[in-house]
Amino acid sequence: MTDTPLARYADLVGRTVFVSGGATGIGADLVTAFHGQGADVVFVDIDAEGGEALRDRLASQGDAPLFLPCDVTDTPALREAMATAEGRGGGLDVLINNAGNDTRMPLGDVTEGDWARILDVNLKHQFFAAQTACGWMRARGRGSIVNFGSVAPEIPVGNLAVYNACKAAVRGLTRSIAKDMGGHGIRCNAILPGAILTPRQRALWYTDQSAIDAMTALQCLPRELCGRDVAEMALFLASDVSAACTAQDFIVDGGIV
Ligand SMILES: NC(=O)c1ccc[n+]([C@@H]2O[C@H](COP(=O)([O-])OP(=O)(O)OC[C@H]3O[C@@H](n4cnc5c(N)ncnc54)[C@H](O)[C@@H]3O)[C@@H](O)[C@H]2O)c1
Sign of CA dihedral 227, 8, 250, 121: positive
Q: Which of these is catalytic: 128, 163, 206, 250?
A: 163
Which domains, ranges and CATH numbers included, belong to the chain? 11-196+225-252 (3.40.50.720)
From 46, 103, 118, give the residue whose CB has the most ligand 1 atoms within 8 Å, as the site to mutate: 46
The DSSP call for residue 40 is: E
pLDDT values of the chain reduced to their tens digit, one per residue, 257 residues: 567 878 999 999 999 999 999 999 999 999 999 999 999 999 999 999 999 999 999 999 889 999 999 999 999 999 999 999 999 988 999 999 999 999 999 999 999 999 999 999 999 999 999 999 999 999 999 999 999 999 999 997 899 999 999 999 999 999 999 999 999 999 999 999 999 999 999 999 999 999 999 999 999 999 999 999 999 999 999 999 999 999 999 999 999 99
pTM above 0.95, yes or no: yes
Sign of CA dihedral 21, 56, 3, 208: negative
Distance CA 219, CA 19 (A): 28
Q: Give residue 101 CA to ligand 1 midpoint distance, Å.
A: 5
Name the nearest CA neighbour of 64 among 88, 87, 95, 90. Answer: 88
How many other C-beta atoms can be found within 10 angstroms of the C-beta atom of residue 7? 12
Residues with CB under 6 A from ligand 1: 21, 23-27, 44-47, 50, 71-73, 98-102, 121, 148, 150, 152, 193, 195-196, 198, 200-201
Is 9 among the residues known to form the active site?
no
